[in-house]
């Protein structure tokens, strides 16, 4: 098409890139005398109205983090389909795909790119525009000064990108697609959050576990849970990794919004390394403890779970030191590896021991009741669950009301509520069992023999506690305080610590061009 005039205005130049989603050309705008990029896309028959809607939605976006769409045209050719022309800002730089492949980004620069894209997506989502195709190849870092930019709004839809049997760029898109999108369900802003989080995950670890050689294998990989970033890169700030892991939740309703992801990245910037790691970032499995990557939150959670298991066994009156040590150490080691799984395993191990060895099935049932649901509901790595176990201890010190304030330190809003309510349950049940005033003073003491069976535990402990007006009121108050204080803390940090991106230093490809689609 070199030298061809399209749309009576743009003189086509060299081809800059090509893929399943179209071909990109450098072009000269003869009217405004400037260089532009023209993307030519072959479209399906009778797709004109939908394509017009998508293009108009993309044209509404005006943000420094989004490649500007200048002009759009679509020509139908009957049953053979049509051709769309997207004329956009020409950006000379490298895509995040190229930077990942060549290990040219520091941890700090990855977070900066993430912040730029979060701001761009926040702008788009506020205008009810969803990108649908966030992936490293669609994020570009301009040469010289300036933040990262998001390319190709709506292109996946313009090309009927829901056909998952194609290869090439469609395979690349599929590897970053949210589970709900891969299943053909409606796409929401949460889908963009998932795809961006997975892009950041790959940038920090060097691998995308979803990406496979064929679409069928990729779809199969999407059905499996991702490893936690907190486990693969324990040297990264735990608050940030927990939010990224939460953004990769399979359930879209459980993911943080894009603003929360951007805030977590901003807060982590001072702690992130600015050196470019080269091949050292490549992850082949769980990071070794010898790497010095264990964070205090994970250690505290391991200690809390170990303490929970040991206390439950000792209080039963049937434990020997060896059993306490073995189960406590197993629970602690599992928690160090995966806090969420360790908390769950600690509860299950303690419940099994109480039921089988101590012949206290009622006590085992209560332990399962207070440990399994929180482990399943918590986002991210699960380290904040350590705070919930502290409830009874704070109660003995007369400091139980401070627990919801500690729960507010959890990064994700759901975690704050889970930690606050779980801590309240631990405290209320401990007060009922021991007869000591830890918080309420009005909780009915557990009936004698409540530990002997599940039915005795229900009638003698759980139902009286759950039916107590003071407990029910406290559930709402504690969760509300944790959410409110957490929101205030996040808002204060955001107001007081605005982020001004520093220029990224990256190596040019060698010649100015628009990256491949």
Catalytic residues, by residue number, are 133
Cβ atoms < 10 Å from Cβ of 34: 12
Cβ atoms < 10 Å from Cβ of 315: 14
What distances in angstroms separate CA 276 from CA 129, 272, 402, one per listed residue? 34, 11, 42
Residues in Cβ contact with 428 at an 8 Å cutoff, skipping those fewer than 6 apart: 439, 440, 443, 465, 468, 471, 474
Rounded (5°) CA angle 319-324-330: 145
- Characterize the bridge pairing of strands 139-142 and 149-150: antiparallel
Choose among 445, 422, 448: nearest CA to 434.
445
Alpha carbon 422 to its chain's center: 23
Burial 215-241 (b: 16+ CB within 10 A, else e): beebbebbeeebbbbbbbbbbbbbbbb
Kindly state the greatest CA–CA separation across the chain: 91
Residues in a beta bridge with 83? 42, 75
Tokens of 253: 């309703």
Rounded distance, CA 64 to CA 306, Å? Answer: 50
């Amino acid at each position: 098409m070199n030298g061809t005039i399209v749309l009576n205005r743009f003189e086509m130049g060299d081809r800059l890139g090509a893929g399943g989603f179209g071909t990109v050309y450098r072009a000269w705008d003869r009217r405004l005398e400037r260089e532009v990029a023209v993307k030519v896309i072959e479209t399906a028959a009778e797709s004109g109205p939908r394509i017009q809607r998508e293009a108009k939605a993309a044209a509404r976006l005006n943000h420094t983090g989004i490649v500007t769409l200048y002009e759009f045209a679509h020509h139908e050719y009957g049953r053979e389909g049509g051709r769309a022309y997207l004329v956009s800002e020409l950006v000379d730089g490298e895509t995040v795909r190229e930077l990942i492949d060549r290990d040219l980004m520091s941890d700090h620069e990855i977070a900066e790119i993430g912040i730029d894209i979060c701001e761009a997506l926040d702008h788009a989502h506020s205008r009810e525009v969803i990108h649908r195709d966030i992936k490293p190849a669609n994020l570009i870092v301009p040469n010289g000064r300036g933040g990262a930019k998001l390319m190709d709004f709506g292109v996946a839809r313009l090309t009927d990108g829901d056909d998952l049997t194609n290869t090439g760029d469609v395979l690349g898109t599929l590897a970053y697609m949210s589970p709900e999108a891969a299943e053909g369900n409606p796409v929401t802003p949460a889908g963009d959050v998932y795809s961006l989080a997975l892009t950041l995950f790959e940038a920090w670890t060097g691998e995308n576990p979803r990406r496979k050689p064929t679409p069928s294998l990729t779809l199969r990989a999407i059905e499996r849970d991702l490893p936690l970033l907190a486990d693969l890169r324990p040297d990264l700030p735990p608050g940030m990794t927990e939010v990224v892991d939460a953004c990769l939740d399979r359930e879209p309703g459980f993911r943080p919004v894009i603003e929360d992801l951007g805030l977590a990245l901003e807060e982590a910037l001072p702690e992130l390394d600015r050196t470019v790691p080269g091949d050292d970032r490549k992850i082949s499995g769980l990071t070794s403890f010898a790497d010095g990557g264990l964070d205090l939150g994970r250690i505290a959670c391991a200690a809390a779970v170990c303490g929970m298991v040991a206390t439950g066994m000792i209080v039963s009156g049937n434990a020997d030191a060896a059993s306490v040590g073995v189960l406590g150490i197993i629970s602690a080691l599992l928690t160090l590896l995966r806090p969420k799984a360790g908390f769950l395993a600690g509860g299950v191990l303690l419940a099994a021991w109480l039921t089988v060895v101590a012949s206290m099935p009622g006590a085992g049932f209560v332990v399962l009741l207070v440990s399994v649901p929180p482990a399943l509901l918590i986002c991210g790595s699960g380290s904040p669950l350590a705070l919930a176990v502290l409830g009874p201890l704070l109660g003995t010190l007369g400091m139980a009301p401070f627990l919801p304030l500690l729960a507010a330190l959890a990064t994700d809003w759901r975690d704050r509520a889970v930690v606050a309510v779980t801590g309240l349950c631990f405290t209320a049940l401990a007060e009922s069992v021991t007869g000591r005033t830890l918080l309420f003073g009005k909780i009915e003491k557990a009936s004698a023999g409540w530990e002997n069976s599940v039915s005795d535990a229900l009638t003698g402990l759980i139902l009286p506690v759950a039916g107590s007006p003071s407990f029910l009121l406290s559930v709402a108050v504690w969760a509300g305080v944790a959410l409110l204080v957490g929101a205030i803390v996040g808002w204060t940090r955001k107001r007081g610590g605005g982020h001004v991106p520093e220029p990224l230093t990256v190596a040019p490809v060698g010649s100015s061009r628009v990256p491949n689609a």
